[in-house]
């Protein structure tokens, strides 16, 4: 584990997050499955990390009731509502600062809203490539450079980052996916907030 990941993990703990560090994506998946209690309902945000880990399939095999709009796109409003009222909400973060702040950008808002208010517990899996040396500005920069272009491209959006591979916010039109930015400095009051930090890069 490098110095940046060690420091970010320490700072997350100081900020009140429940943190587990692992080496590989497989270990991150096993850790997540061990922390999600039997019978818990699970809401899931749009996340390539969660998809890459195959967590939804693994949870369904264990008998969990899972609400994920990626597998039920035709029922999005119902799924979003049920996900927001689940026992635990599963997602990643778009970036993590050295100081232990989780930064997320959202176009629809269901993901960031559910990570802030609703489920009693939030569980995020974060690959170490998402940790930035700097603060919130660096985190937003990382998201717009490394996360938005492949996401916008995957979704077929008509944005500068999808077409040219880099952000041009001034000329980003109706398809803009950077509509809300959240910075979580500490778990919200009464919330259990778990962060699994993996050395291996997961998602983007």
Site residues for ligand SF4 per CB under 6 A: 144, 148, 152, 159-161, 167-169, 172, 176-178
d(CA 105, CA 133) in angstroms, rounded, equals: 18
Q: Which of 137, 175, 138, 170 is nearest to 158 (CA)?
A: 175
Nearer CB in complex with ligand SF4: 152/194: 152
d(CA 87, CA 36) in angstroms, rounded, equals: 9
Read out DSSP for 49-89? HHHHHTHHHHHHHTT--EEETTT-GGGHHHHHHHHHTSSEE
Nearer CB in complex with ligand SF4: 25/177: 177
Q: How far is the CB of 158 from ligand SF4 (least distance, A)?
A: 10
Q: How far is the CB of 141 from ligand SF4 (least distance, A)?
A: 10
Nearer CB in complex with ligand SF4: 123/162: 162
Measured at the CA of 40, the angle between CA 60 and CA 50, to 5 degrees, comes to: 50
* End-to-end Cα distance, the chain: 19
Q: How far is the CB of 163 from ligand SF4 (least distance, A)?
A: 9
Q: How far is the CB of 174 from ligand SF4 (least distance, A)?
A: 11
Nearer CB in complex with ligand SF4: 88/177: 177
Nearer CB in complex with ligand SF4: 83/148: 148
Q: How far is the CB of 156 from ligand SF4 (least distance, A)?
A: 13
What are the beta bridge partners of residue 181? 105
């Amino acid at each position: 584990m490098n110095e940046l990941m060690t420091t970010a993990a320490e700072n997350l703990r100081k900020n009140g997050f429940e943190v587990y560090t692992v080496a590989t994506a497989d270990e991150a998946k096993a850790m997540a499955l061990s922390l999600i209690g039997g019978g818990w309902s699970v809401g899931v945000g749009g996340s390539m990390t969660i998809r890459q880990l195959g967590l939804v399939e693994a949870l369904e095999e264990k008998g969990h009731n899972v609400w994920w709009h990626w597998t039920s796109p035709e029922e999005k409003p119902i799924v979003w509502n049920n996900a927001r009222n689940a026992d635990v909400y599963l997602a990643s973060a778009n970036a993590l600062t050295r100081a232990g702040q989780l930064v997320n950008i959202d176009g629809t808002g269901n993901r960031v809203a559910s990570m802030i208010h609703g489920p009693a517990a939030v569980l995020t899996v974060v690959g170490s490539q998402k940790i930035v040396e700097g603060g919130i500005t660096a985190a937003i920069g990382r998201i717009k450079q490394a996360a938005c272009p492949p996401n916008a491209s995957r979704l077929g959006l008509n944005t500068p980052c999808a077409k040219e591979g880099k952000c041009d916010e001034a000329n980003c039109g109706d398809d803009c996916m950077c509509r809300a930015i959240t910075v979580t400095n500490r778990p919200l009051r009464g919330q259990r907030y778990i962060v699994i930090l993996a050395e291996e890069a997961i998602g983007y």
